[in-house]
Amino acid sequence: MPVWEVLGRRTEGDALAVVGGVKAPDAEMALLLARETHFRHKEGVSYGVRRRGEGHIHEGTWPANELGGVTDRSYRRQEGYVGVGAQMKRVHRELAARGLVVRGPTPPSTRSSRDDVDD
């Protein structure tokens, strides 16, 4: 089975650089595997494959805005949670200003502790 080098471009201004490799019988399958294995989390704006030892590059046809899917998956990365704590504090302050915050002791847990369980 031929080995294909996977080339990727992180930003529009970058040149294509080797980011990995896949084994595939032809260029079409190599492009599919490259897209699914190397660019599924929006790691680049374009990609291509080149059969190892050859010079011709087969470029992928997916546009940059669809490469990696159109669904927002920022929750899968740590950067997706930047500002969540500040937002929760802001919402709490707004609810408190409207008188919608319950103040008082926390209700007891309905779960039994390990000490209460008979062995």
Query: pLDDT confidence of 117, banded at 50, 70, 90?
Result: low
Q: For the full predicted model, state whether its pTM sits above 0.85.
A: no
**Angle at the Cα of 16 from the Cα atoms of 40 and 58, rounded to 5 degrees:** 75
Residue reference for tokens 């949670």: 81
Query: pLDDT confidence of 91, banded at 50, 70, 90?
Result: very high
Higher pLDDT, 110 or 73: 110
Q: Quick one: pLDDT at residue 17?
A: 92
What whole-number distance in Å separates Cα of residue 9 and Cα of residue 32? 16
Structure tokens at 61: 């046809």
Cβ count near 68 (within 10 Å): 19
Terminal alpha carbon distance of the chain: 58
What whole-number distance in Å separates Cα of residue 67 and Cα of residue 62? 6
Side by side, the strands of the sheet bearing 3-9 are: 17-23, 3-9, 46-51, 58-59
All domains of the chain in start order, with CATH:
3-59 (3.10.20)
Q: Quick one: pLDDT at residue 79?
A: 78
Span 54-80, pLDDT tens digits: 999 999 888 877 776 666 667 777 877
